[in-house]
């Protein structure tokens, strides 16, 4: 397939590298000239496999026609990017959204294109503008917002999925988003506030306790099975125990986090108090505002 990937952070880099390796034609759309030049010169360097995928990088203002667009920008940049892209994207071409959280869904539904919503649970760490480290093998699950495009989605996934980079079609896209939302709501803020890797969620009894409380609160709001969801959280923690969560990486890079679309989304749906969730929300917001510099 001929694919346009928009946003080259850790997810965009990982996806572009694997899909190029499988023989797809990839154009990467970025906002910074420096990253564009770097990608065109170096390709994408994928660790730990030491593999380089040569792709074409373009400025986001110069969007062309492809068989599929995959939007990988994070939630804080998403709405601005969509406003910019909306006029340039051909309306019949499918768009796949791959974001943490759920606050993008209403906006995605306003687009007339076939809209696919996916979640990815690979561990990925951006090393520099063209290098990404695959820190935990996972899968991608994708659903279609509209039933009429389900067959199109199945054909697309047949073409994109491989043993090395498995992709699955899911009928209930809202359910997969809710599962991922809870996993992110538990792991991301706690690891970012406490500056620990994902594995500490189970190995540190105090963090374990807080994580469990947040999981219960999130399940209450979304009306999910708390036993099943806690098992899911533990499974992700185990598979990504050595990883730094994306929120911890953002805090360390002093970037805006996805807290509003993850924890903020849950708080906006809450009918009763969520004390632990509310605490981590404000703690991350406080960290985003900055703190004391290291000596």
Give the footprint of ligand PAF on this chain (CB under 6 A). 100, 121, 123, 183-184, 187-188, 198, 236, 240, 243, 245-246
Residue 171: active-site member: no
- Least distance in Å: CB of 286 to ligand PAF? 20
Measured between alpha carbons, how far is 120 from 40 in angstroms, rounded to an integer? 26
Nearest Cα neighbor of 129 from 30, 244, 49 is 30
User: Which residue is catalytic, options 36, 74, 180, 287?
Assistant: 180
In the complex with ligand PAF, the residue whose CB is nearer, 66 or 122, is 122
Measured between alpha carbons, how far is 182 from 276 in angstroms, rounded to an integer? 14
- Least distance in Å: CB of 58 to ligand PAF? 27
- Least distance in Å: CB of 236 to ligand PAF? 5
- Least distance in Å: CB of 121 to ligand PAF? 5
In the complex with ligand PAF, the residue whose CB is nearer, 53 or 198, is 198
Nearest Cα neighbor of 220 from 181, 178, 270, 158 is 270
Measured between alpha carbons, how far is 164 from 166 in angstroms, rounded to an integer? 6
Contacts of 219 (CB under 8 A, 6+ apart): 182, 225, 226, 229
Catalytic residues: 180
């Amino acid at each position: 397939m001929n694919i346009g990937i928009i946003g080259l952070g850790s997810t965009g880099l990982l996806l572009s590298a694997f899909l190029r390796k499988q023989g797809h034609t990839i154009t990467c759309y970025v906002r910074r000239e420096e990253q564009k030049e770097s990608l065109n010169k170096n390709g994408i360097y994928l660790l730990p496999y030491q593999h380089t995928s040569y792709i074409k990088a373009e400025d986001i203002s110069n969007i062309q026609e492809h068989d599929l667009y995959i939007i990988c920008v994070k939630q804080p940049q998403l709405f601005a990017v969509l406003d910019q892209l909306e006029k340039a994207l051909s309306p019949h071409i499918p768009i796949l959204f791959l974001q943490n959280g759920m606050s993008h869904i209403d906006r995605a539904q306003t687009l007339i294109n076939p809209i696919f919503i996916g979640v990815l649970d690979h561990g990925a760490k951006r090393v520099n503008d063209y290098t990404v480290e695959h820190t935990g093998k996972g899968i991608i699950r994708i659903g279609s917002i509209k039933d009429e495009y389900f067959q199109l989605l199945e054909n697309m996934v047949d073409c994109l999925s491989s043993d090395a980079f498995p992709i699955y079609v899911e009928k209930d896209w809202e359910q997969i988003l809710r599962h991922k939302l809870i996993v992110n709501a538990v792991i991301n803020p706690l690891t970012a506030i406490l500056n620990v890797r994902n594995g500490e969620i189970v190995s540190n009894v105090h963090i374990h306790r807080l994580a469990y409380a947040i999981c219960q609160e999130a399940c209450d709001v979304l009306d999910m099975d708390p036993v099943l969801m806690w098992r899911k959280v533990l499974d992700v923690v185990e598979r990504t125990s050595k990883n730094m969560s994306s929120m911890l990486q953002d805090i360390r890079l002093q970037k805006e986090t996805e807290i509003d679309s993850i924890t903020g989304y849950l708080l906006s749906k809450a009918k009763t108090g969520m004390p632990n969730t509310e605490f981590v929300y404000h703690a991350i917001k406080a960290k985003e505002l900055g703190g004391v510099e290291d000596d």
